[in-house]
Structure 1
Amino acid sequence: MKRFREVWLALVLCTAIIMLSVSGCGGNSSNATGDKGKTSASQVNTTFKVGLLVPNTINDGGWSTSGYEGLKQLEKDMGAEISYMEVKSPSDVVEGFTDYGNKGYNIVFGHSYDYQDAAKRVAPQFPKTIYITSGGTTVMDNVSPIYFQMEQAVYLMGVVAATWTKTGKVGAIGSVNMPAITKTLKAFAQGAKDTNPSVEVVTTYLGTQTDVGKAREAALAMINSGVDFFWVSANAAGQGVYEAVEQSKAKGIKTFGAYSRFSQKYPDTVVADALLDMGNAFELVAKQVKDGTWKPGTLNVGVKEGVVKFFWNEKMYSNIPQNVKDAYEKAKKDLMDGKIKIDIGAY
């Protein structure tokens, strides 16, 4: 009897242990597939991660700053987890694209025309990451460019310069001879020539995106030759042009802001600013990627899309001659009506 009771107790204990074990396994399985498990997995999968590579410091006050501001807008408006990298050498681009791909980023914005070759090389390794270049022509399954029609605003600056110049000589300074830069210098020259064919347009390229001193010297040399209006697209080096114009403001020398509100920093010399609302441009892409509707192809954005913007210097505006304002308004209307075709050359 005693022996039977011991066996019976053993069986009860074993049964209880087995039941608990099955219950425990079943509980884990239920949590993995039930509401709680799904919520946890969803939280991981829906983390929207966006990376950015810029060619200069995010504090350059121009192109790289605009890219960083666009990235921050995605963080604010879409709750994106963001990261950025300041490129120091060409190898950094491949390294940065690869690193973001390995980390499972949803989108990586390469904020330069020059980055498309690196995107072409890296993207096939990370088919779930979308690589977007600022400019370029490369389109692949997960690579596409944004084409910023900045030439629209810069053409109008050429109109303003040609109408207002006292010397009949205006200048355009670029960093390096590449399509994203040359197109704005061509647009400035066309705007000036369309307005006044007798205006002389002096164009020069610095061969650098960072040498502020070289840009300052180039601008001062052009001022000494009679140039009284400037357009500059030279990334960080462009600061030297603004300094040279500010230094020569007693002579009536003026310029235009590129990709940032330089008129706020130099209210006596910057007539107007040509801006890209990078946040709007980046959001157009990011929303499509997030909702699964994105398709490869060039995204063209300009004035109509609220990305390219022309802002007068409010402090200077009352002193701008009326004929200059009238010339601007007429050219803007003609541009929006499709009457003006800007020749930017090969891109």
Structure 2
Amino acid sequence: MKKVLSLSLSMILAASVALAGCGNDNSGSNSQGSDGNEGAAKSDVQIGMVTDVGGVNDKSFNQSAWEALQAVEAESGAKVKYLQSKSDSDYNTNLNEFVQNNYNLTWGIGFQLADAIKTVAEQNPESNLAIIDSVVDAPNVKSVTFAEEQGSFLVGVIAGKMTKTNKVGFVGGMNSPLIKRFEVGFREGVKAVNPDAKFIPTYTGNFDKPDEGKTAAATLYNDGVDIIFHAAGATGTGVFNEGLSRKKSGQDVWVIGVDKDQSIEFGDEITLTSMIKKVDEAVKKVSLELVNGTFEGGIEELDLADNAVGIAETSTANVPEDVLKLVDEYKEKIISGEIVVPTE
């Protein structure tokens, strides 16, 4: 069952009152938390977060998740901390560090942590865990997934209407079912409004290699592509860097960001639009459920109808009004079920 991404003001206020007066210890190596704002309610609740290899400063979903936990800390006084994974072998170790230190909730950010989350959850049935972008079938795990293909379809509509070379590209990180949903949704959006456009996808195989993203983007731009959508985590930084370099040399090229409004980081000069996936709101919602004592394991599936995916509000900077109107029309068709966006 889908749940609305919202938390009532009364629940937040109730949590603040209930937690007032408790202590908050924010010590520990790698802790990126703060003591919170003066006067904020304090809590003994501890929430940990393990990044995938893209790192906490990936300008994408890891960063969004961490920003959400910082907001939870500010609102509730809960102690928050992250551990950054440098390789797949760090996942179990990092998750276990939080669990063995009796953290009340441990997040795994990204589908690559699914196996580790399942193992740790089964070994520690009294511990609460949560994961973004994958489903882990365990009673003590909250799994949050998104309809990436729906949001990607909408930015595909923008690319299909705005390409001048009639060539549109996609740069993915790891070629997985999750990233494939971004690719396929984007492709279908382009096709819906511009069936003659050539669509060129490519994968780097990594989420933490900006240089590989730059090389992939250069290849696409050299092939005549003028708009690239990336779903590659920190590797996507290289896509933006290549686009910016070409833009400054006079080439009319664009990049479409992913997961959060990447124009904030890279500027409107190169960011045509961004496909928003509200990882931050999902992480904040579930974490506050833990703070309030209402956390439950299970699956939470979020889509356009939940306003959990879509396009950045700053799209008005570069996308004409008539194209944005067309995007809204397709959005309503997807929500109503008139259009079912494929995932493969």
Using structure 2 for the length normalisation, give the TM-score. 0.81
Aligned residues: percent identity? 25
Contact 1:54 1:110 in 2 (8 A): yes
Q: Deviations over 1:139-192 (max 9, x none)?
A: 112123110223322210000100111111100100111222221111111111
Q: Deviations over 1:76-128 (max 9, x none)?
A: 22221111011012221111111111111111110010111111111123223
Query: Which residue type is aligned with residue 343 of structure 2?
Result: I
Distance 2:305 2:329 in 1: 17
SS at match of 2:44: coil
From 109, 120, 123, give the equivalent of 1:122.
Answer: 120
Compute the displacement of 1:43 (Å): 6.8
Distance 2:218 2:158 in 1: 21
Distance 1:186 1:235 in 2: 18
SS at match of 1:284: helix
What is residue 330 of structure 1 aligned with on the other side?
329
Distance 1:323 1:230 in 2: 21
Structure whose alpha-carbon radius of gyration is higher: 1
Distance 2:162 2:315 in 1: 17
What is residue 177 of structure 1 aligned with on the other side?
175
What is residue 9 of structure 2 aligned with on the other side?
none
Distance 2:71 2:309 in 1: 16
Listed as ranges, the gaps of 5+ residues in structure 1 are: 1-38
SS at match of 2:225: coil
Q: Which has the larger share of helix?
A: 1
Aligned ranges 1:10-49 → 2 under 5 Å? 47-49=44-46
What is residue 311 of structure 1 aligned with on the other side?
312
Q: Identify if the C-alpha distance between structure 1 residues 340 and 182 changes in structure 2 by more than 3 Å, giving closer, same or farther.
A: same
Aligned ranges 1:150-169 → 2 under 5 Å? 150-169=148-167
Pick 1 or 2: higher relative contact order, CA cutoff 8 A, min separation 6: 2
What is residue 191 of structure 2 aligned with on the other side?
193
Using structure 1 for the length normalisation, give the TM-score. 0.81
Compute the displacement of 1:312 (Å): 4.3
What is residue 65 of structure 1 aligned with on the other side?
63
Compute the displacement of 1:315 (Å): 7.1
Distance 2:166 2:110 in 1: 34
Listed as ranges, the gaps of 5+ residues in structure 2 are: 1-18, 25-42
Q: Identify if the C-alpha distance between structure 1 residues 59 and 274 changes in structure 2 by more than 3 Å, giving closer, same or farther.
A: same
Aligned ranges 1:1-347 → 2 under 5 Å? 47-55=44-52, 56-249=54-247, 250-264=250-264, 265-313=266-314, 316-317=317-318, 320-345=319-344
Contact 1:171 1:222 in 2 (8 A): yes
Q: Identify if the C-alpha distance between structure 1 residues 73 and 276 changes in structure 2 by more than 3 Å, giving closer, same or farther.
A: farther
Distance 1:312 1:283 in 2: 20
Contact 2:76 2:291 in 1 (8 A): no
Compute the displacement of 1:59 (Å): 1.8
Compute the displacement of 1:74 (Å): 1.5
Contact 1:66 1:276 in 2 (8 A): no
Contact 1:51 1:109 in 2 (8 A): yes
Compute the displacement of 1:337 (Å): 2.2
What is residue 13 of structure 1 aligned with on the other side?
none
Query: Which residue type is aligned with residue 260 of structure 1?
Result: K
Contact 1:48 1:81 in 2 (8 A): yes
Q: Deviations over 1:245-296 (max 9, x none)?
A: 1122222111212123322322112111222333320233223334444332
Q: Identify if the C-alpha distance between structure 1 residues 148 and 337 changes in structure 2 by more than 3 Å, giving closer, same or farther.
A: same
Q: Identify if the C-alpha distance between structure 1 residues 314 and 327 changes in structure 2 by more than 3 Å, giving closer, same or farther.
A: closer
Contact 1:216 1:243 in 2 (8 A): yes
